[in-house]
Amino acid sequence: MKDPGIVVDVRDMSGMWRNLTPTVVELANGFRMYYTESGPGADYGKHPARIMSLFSGDGEAWEPEPGVRIGPHEPGAGRRVVCPDVIPLPEGGYRMYLEGQPHDAPSSVISAFSPDGLQWEPEPGVRFGDGEWSYGSPRCIYFDAPDGGVGYRLYFHRYTYPVTPGLESGNHIISAVSSDGLDFEEEPGVRIAQETDLESYSVYAAEVLRLGDGTYRMYYAGWCAEPLHGRIFSAVSRDGMQWTKDPEPNVVFGGRWDSEKCSEPCVMRLPDGRYRMFYEANDGFTWRILSATSA
């Protein structure tokens, strides 16, 4: 059920700012939300974007944290950084996976490290990219590796460059695995494919939860073309590789603040046991972060 009001509003109503791509990390004393702020500039694709954060003690009220967590940087992300995903590391500190957009080349998945979740430094190299396709909207989970250790599985989109709509385009969600969280090898096949008219533009932005029985649930964004609308869907899997889509979307555009698109979901568990999904929403003019809550 959609919650009333706006979680993260834009700086002003000029149309020059957008708040996008939320992700939430649980802390010892509350929660931190990372998100993308794009602007100033009306053209999202050509203007800078940076990663910001907010803190909440209860998942209800959010307060901005001062400063920028990480901004555009060279090499590989000179235009913008978007779509953060943050995981705690076994050895301490945090790693952020994010989409880095160069000025005149396809995007790739890059990463950054922080000892405290606030001060971030880019890590050298590219986690996944080939200079031909666009890769981004990463989500990383731990899994039990075949050798008995802990592995990293990274879900992310692969798009044509520039993005071309149509079910034949191959704008899918794929995955890669790593033993150290830095060097990833693509896994065969497609995790979530464009298959229906509601996914005719693309599927992307996987949010993957490991459930109590060892299975997985994924929430993801599916966009249709002509007209261009976004919805949030879900799928289930026993192994994190083969996914079965649920028949109906979970969140559909149509409210005051999300009359055109719902996209980029992330899900957290509230202290009272309910689940809250944060998502980016478009009302035909600008983008904000909203939420919906489930028992």
Q: What is the distance between the alpha carbons of residues 71 and 37, in angstroms, rounded to a whole number?
A: 10
Res. 238 pLDDT band, cuts 50 70 90: very high
Contact 82, 98 (CB under 8 A): yes
Mean predicted confidence (pLDDT) in 14-42:
96
Q: Residue 91 CB: number of other CB atoms within 10 A?
A: 5
Residue pair 231/220 in contact by the 8 Å Cβ criterion: no
- Please give the C-alpha separations between residue 34 and each of 42, 154, 214, 249, 253, in angstroms, as whole numbers: 22, 18, 27, 25, 23
Question: The tokens of 59 are what?
Answer: 């998942």
Q: pLDDT tens across 257-294, in order? A: 999 999 999 999 999 999 999 999 999 999 999 999 99
- Find, among 248, 197, 178, the residue nearest to 219 by Cα: 248
Bridge partners for 100 per DSSP: 81, 108
Given this model, what pLDDT does residue 145 score?
83
Asked whether the bond before 162 is cis by omega within 30 degrees of 0, the reply is yes
Q: What's the predicted TM-score (pTM) here? A: 0.97
The CATH label, of 2.115.10.20, 3.30.230.10, 2.130.10.10, 2.40.160.20, for the domain at 18-294 is: 2.115.10.20
Q: What percent of the chain has pLDDT over 70?
A: 100
Annotated domain spans of the chain: 18-294
Mean pLDDT (the chain) is: 96
